[in-house]
Chains A and B, each alone.
Chain A
Amino acid sequence: MAMNATAIERISTKARAISLRLFWRRFCRNKLALIAFWFIIAEVIVAVAAPYIAPYDPYKGDFLATWETPNRLHWLGTDDLGRDVLSRLLYGARISISVGILSQVAIAVVGVPIGALSGLKGGRLDYVIMRVIDVLSSLPTICFYILLMVALGAGFWNLILAMTLTGWIGIARLVRGQVLSLKKTDFIRASRAMGGGTRYIIKKHILSNVMTPVIVSIAIGIPGAMFAEAGLSFLGLGIPAPRASWGQMIGIYQAYIRTAWHLTVFPSIVLALTMLAWFLFADGIRDALDTNSSFSIVD
């Protein structure tokens, strides 16, 4: 009997030790996702190192060099105040990446416990939470974003707050569904029969099993949040000037497209490439974690 228990222990730890390596091996099999992964790593490094590698100060104008098209001194040209577009793009990467990651972390921190509680406790609490989710999801998302941003005022942290207020719904619903179906599984019933308490079951079984869809949802949510940041900044409600954000640059300079195309085209290209990389990366993560979903981007 005792030997049996240790054998099970050994098998289970072995399986877990393999799973991280297996995840990486499976991930590497998807070449596109791997390229996207290295692109993202490079972009993060560039964003972190922006103050050291940016050729110019992104906030300092040079009034002798305004509206310049790409040339040897300013590789991607300068804007109406003579600020270097390349430097501003590099600083914009910091905004985009930090909004994407921070908002998703905040959404997970708020959404996962609410969903788990709702699924586990059931009853009146579940009813109330579900009605709140129903109401919030029947509001048109962009409309809610815009109203929130106007009420809160444009700014980095307000943007994250607005995204958290609208975004926790999806992940809470996801976790609740997972918990509801997990509650009925044999291994949780067995664990309970062997005397596992609620807290033990949540920590040992529920959290580890819910993590996979949560990770996938975060990975897909990051480019979604970047998209939203760009859109709100485009409308002038996201990141306020003078801080540089890609969406904001596109929004401000789209009016000058006839005379200064480089001011909108370069941020657009960077934004689209970044979105592509993050979506491919998220796709790779989902494939590697092997959650089944019929809606995939590349297969």
Chain B
Amino acid sequence: MLRFVLSRIAGLVGVLFIVSVITFGLMHSVPGGPFDARALEKQQLVPENIKRQLNEKYGLNAPVWKQYTLFVRNAVFLDFGYSMAYPNRTVVGILKEQWSYSLQLGLLTLLFSTAVGVGLGIASAVKPNSILDYLGTGVSILCLVMPSFVFAILLQVVFSVWLGWLPTGGWSSPRHLIMPVLANSLAPILVLQRYTRASMRDTMKANYVRTARAKGLSKNRIMFIHVFKNALTPLLTVGGPLAAGLIVGSFFVESIFRIPGIGFYFVSAIGSRDYPMIMVTTLVWTLIISLAYLITDLLYALVDPRVTLVRED
């Protein structure tokens, strides 16, 4: 067990290293540096000598491999320096502050989509061909074919423009949360509804369920004690990565509803060539997603005794 975790963590360090090389390489292959981008945004020309001084200050005139080794050396001590687009804020500070918005959005989305997705999934498994079953299928088709940004805009048209009930963007009162959470929930609802339904149906065919029925247990007891608990295990495999995907923020929902979360900052960091910001965000995302997979595997072994993490041969 411990060996499994240690080897996975060692692998993770390797993954982070390679991802950092790829990101660094891609980032520096883009024409234009941070100071060109800022000048373009402010519609002014930066004199050559000032640009040279700025580049020297941030170490951007050194060869790329030297910049990379410097980055790695500082990264070991978790020192990522100051943002290039917001010179008075550290990268870690920006992440800390902005991530709370993405985290709120992600957790609310997770709560809402779990309630709707798992609920509809159970309902359609327990009562196939009922109204709830068709509703579940209808909702999941809607979630499948609607890109979140299209759905977000349609929500804005209906609830903000036509009805005038909800604000089009921002993140200050509970009324601001409704539309972003709805738009962000599409993919998770689809996945959770489909997997819950399929997994419940598979479990309902198991022999021990037939035995429980033969013993004369009540239908509710069978459904919730025998079927649901066992059907949850496969859900874990999709649930972990899903949760990770939600807490890292959303490019589309955050930019449409003007939520100052991390996805929004990442897109603007790419536009302004904010090198440290891009690097750190990518690495933290990779870390979160890899850790989510690891935790999912561990939980899976914990919940289902048939699963072993160590190879037996």
Contact = CB atoms under 8 A, between A and B. Distances in A.
Interface string B71-87: 00000000000000000
Contacts of A140: 245, 248, 282, 285-286, 289
Given A147-B23, A276-B144, 9 more contacts: A134-B11, A135-B14, A140-B245, A146-B251, A231-B147, A234-B147, A254-B256, A294-B199, A297-B144
B236 interface: no
Contact of A151 (B26, B145, B198): B26
Interface in A229-265: 230-231, 234-235, 247, 250-251, 254, 257-258, 261, 264-265
Contacts of B150: 230, 250, 268, 271-272
A150 B14 CA distance: 25
A234 B149 CA distance: 8
29 contacts: A134-B11, A135-B19, A138-B19, A138-B290, A139-B282, A143-B266, A143-B285, A146-B270, A147-B27, A147-B270, A148-B26, A150-B26, A151-B27, A151-B29, A231-B149, A234-B149, A235-B251, A235-B252, A235-B255, A250-B149, A254-B149, A254-B153, A257-B153, A257-B157, A268-B153, A268-B154, A275-B145, A295-B195, A298-B137
A227 B190 CA distance: 16
B147 A227 contact: yes
A296 B197 CA distance: 11
Given A146-B270, A150-B270, A294-B202, A265 B147 contact: no
A138 B291 CA distance: 10
Contacts of A251: 149
Interface string A125-145: 000000000110011101100
A265 B256 CA distance: 15
Nearest to B198: A294
Contact of A298 (B11, B141, B282, B285): B141
B contact patch SS:
helix
A91 interface: no
Contacts of A168: none
Interface string B25-67: 0110110000000000000000000000000000000000000
Interface of B: 11, 14-15, 18-19, 22-23, 26-27, 29-30, 137, 140-141, 144-147, 149-150, 153-154, 156-157, 161, 194-195, 198-199, 202, 245, 248, 251-252, 255-256, 266-267, 270, 278, 281-282, 285-286, 289-290, 293
Contacts of A254: 149, 153, 156, 256
A42 to B, nearest CB: 18
B63 to A, nearest CB: 19
Nearest to A278: B145
A279 interface: yes
A151 B290 contact: no
B282 A143 contact: yes
A272 B148 CA distance: 11
Contacts of A295: 194-195, 198
A142 B250 CA distance: 10
Contacts of A273: 145
B77 to A, nearest CB: 24
Nearest to B195: A295
Nearest to B149: A234
Nearest to A223: B145
Contact of B161 (A227, A261, A294): A261
B289 A138 contact: yes
A259 B257 CA distance: 18
B149 to A, nearest CB: 5
